[in-house]
Chains A and B, each alone.
Chain A
Amino acid sequence: MNLSSSSICLCLSAILVCGSGCKSVNSVSPHERAATSHSIAQERVMTDPFLESRARILGVTETQTPEGFVKIQVELENMTSSTKHIEYAFEWFDAQGNLVPSASGGFRVRELLGREVIYISAISPRADIKDFRVKMIRARR
């Protein structure tokens, strides 16, 4: 009887903890997407498997504007049911592979609710940009 009470208490605590700590996102979208995105092949270098298992990159799309600027959009999913924070930064390279300096292109914090799919995007700082790299880390602040 005593053991049973403890079990019930433990279960209730677990439900309470999950109920208060897990805020996952329910979403709805059209079954057939009208927008067509141009997904590109990626070369991924993963040094943090913990981050990779929690924030998964679903796809990267690249579009070129009429004036020649490159717009990149990364689709990211929080694989957990709890809120996570990541930091990301874009790096841009010209035709010779030189890193193009960016005045404000540092790491930016982004919050992902449980199971949420988000998009992080950026437009190239110049029209002659040929390559890019997106860096992601677990938020430390």
Chain B
Amino acid sequence: MLLQVAVLTLIVGCASRSAYVNPQGPDTAVNAGQINIQDFAAAADTFVNEILERVSQGQLPSSRPGKPAIMAISRITNKTLQHVDIDQLVKKIRVQLNRSGRILTTTTLAYGEVEDPLAKQTQEQLQALGKADGPLIADYTLSGSILDDIARKSRMTTQASYIFQLSLTDRNGIALWESEYIVTKQGRKAAVTW
């Protein structure tokens, strides 16, 4: 009997504690010391809501009547001390805007290296053959930065604020939409809360 209990305890004790969780659900891990996946999602959600609200009021029109406006991704700077993949924020915004059918993103026009060099090459070849319109000019460009502000609340508790700032600029260089989203978290540094 004792042996059976011991074996059972061993089996239970050795069982894997890993589990799948919904990345959009409430069970994702929260770290005060870093930007978590839900922080990017909340920031992107806020920005998309604001952009779509402007679109729905006709404040972000397309230069091509009846067709969606074109947005290019400009410089989005990571000014935090962490390694942040900007695509975690930008891709979510792009996907949402794409699904709305009102703003599409170009992958052949970018600040620095283009996202899809082969598509750009194809575009240039078609233009050389006279089978494509002139060079693509985006209606809007998306730029911004991510900043952080770390403060100590007490000897054990640290407060971290992550500030997401984005602007949408038109062809005339006027920022037609600008926004800021701040997420603030408190906790022990590097501690995970559930």
Contact = CB atoms under 8 A, between A and B. Distances in A.
Interface of A: 65-69, 71, 87, 89, 100-109, 121-127, 137, 139-141
Contacts, number: 87
Contact of B52 (A105, A106, A125): A125
Contacts of A108: 38, 42, 45
7 contacts: A65-B53, A65-B57, A71-B53, A104-B45, A108-B38, A125-B48, A141-B30
Given A66-B56, A125-B99, A126-B100, A104 B48 contact: yes
B130 interface: no
- Number of contact residues on B: which range applies? 20 to 34
Interface of B: 22-28, 30, 38, 40-42, 44-45, 48-49, 52-53, 55-58, 92-93, 95-96, 99-102, 193-194
Q: 9 smallest A-B Cβ distances: which pairs? A: A106-B24, A65-B56, A69-B56, A103-B95, A67-B56, A104-B44, A104-B45, A104-B41, A104-B92
Main secondary structure of the interface of B (DSSP, over half): helix
A122 B49 CA distance: 6
Interface of A is mostly: loop
